[in-house]
Amino acid sequence: MRNQRRRPEEDRPLPRGGTITGIVASPRAPGRFTVMVDGKSGPTLGLEAIERLHLVVGGSTLGREQDVADEAEALRVYDRAATMLAARGRAARDLEKMLVRKGEQPELARKAVERLTAQGFLDDAVYARSFVRSKSSGAGLARRRLEQELGRKGVDRAVVAEAIDEVFEEEERDEAASAEALARKRSRTLRDADPRATRRRLYAYLARRGYSVDVINEALDRVGASDGESFDEE
């Protein structure tokens, strides 16, 4: 049986009814402080939590053990969320779901995401625009596929529509021209295939990227991938 990783608060439990003997800044995590209780390391907290709980050297933790533990756990989840966000841009709902999948409590995951959003570190509109720029240019995704992908990540439909409209206008993107360019590039790798097979493969290639049947058929006709066969919506 696989051993479960122990959480920080399990490694450094706050002694019951102890005296706070020190509040030490973490050398590895700026803005984080270890509460020393009876000379032993306790939970790691942020300055806001320390002030909110009125924790001072010489004070006691008697009767506040659970409050301190809750603050430490919330901070741990927040820090984990911030680290994940720093490594890769994410939508708010997507980040929340990822935290839960990794074993965090749903309520703490939600609060961490809300805090990051309030601080301006997490913004679905900014993320959506970045996603659209990257995927429409790099992968050649069409509006429909972009809507599907961002929808799966939990971005609001209105936010998605606005991001796509904005980016497409800024970059003067035309789906018909994009589909044709993709078909021409892809067709170079299919020169040995017969015309019917080439058209079917190009159709599937563009369909996976979200282009409509009409746009695909027009693009294939323009690049000469035609054997007299056109496709219809199923």
Query: For the domain that residue 58 is a member of, what is the CATH number?
Result: 2.40.50
Element at 32 (helix H, strand E)? strand 32-37
Segments forming the whole domain that contains residue 26 = 8-87
Q: What is the mean pLDDT of residues 140-158?
A: 96
Number of domains in the chain: 3
Angle between helices 143-152 and 124-137 (to 10 degrees): 140
Q: Are residues 19 and 81 in the same domain?
A: yes
- Distance in angstroms (rounded) separating the CA atoms of residues 189 and 202: 10
Q: Quick check: is 191 in a domain?
A: yes
Q: Quick check: is 108 in a domain?
A: no
Single-letter residue type at 223: V
pLDDT at 141: 96
pLDDT at 5: 41
Element at 44 (helix H, strand E)? strand 40-46
Q: What is the mean pLDDT of residues 43-49?
A: 93
For the full predicted model, state whether its pTM sits above 0.95. Answer: no
Q: Quick check: is 102 in a domain?
A: no
Q: What is the mean pLDDT of residues 179-206?
A: 88
Does residue 134 surpass a pLDDT of 60?
yes
Does residue 12 surpass a pLDDT of 50?
no
Q: Are residues 81 and 13 in the same domain?
A: yes
In the sheet that 40-46 helps form, which strands lie side by side, from edge to edge? 20-25, 32-37, 40-46
Q: Are residues 162 and 194 in the same domain?
A: no
Q: Quick check: is 234 in a domain?
A: no
Residues 6+ apart with CB under 8 A from 59: 19, 20
Q: Quick check: is 78 in a domain?
A: yes
- Distance in angstroms (rounded) separating the CA atoms of residues 164 and 141: 11
Q: Are residues 139 and 156 in the same domain?
A: yes
Domain boundary among 136, 155, 170: 170
> Nearest Cα to 220, choosing from 178, 180, 177?
180
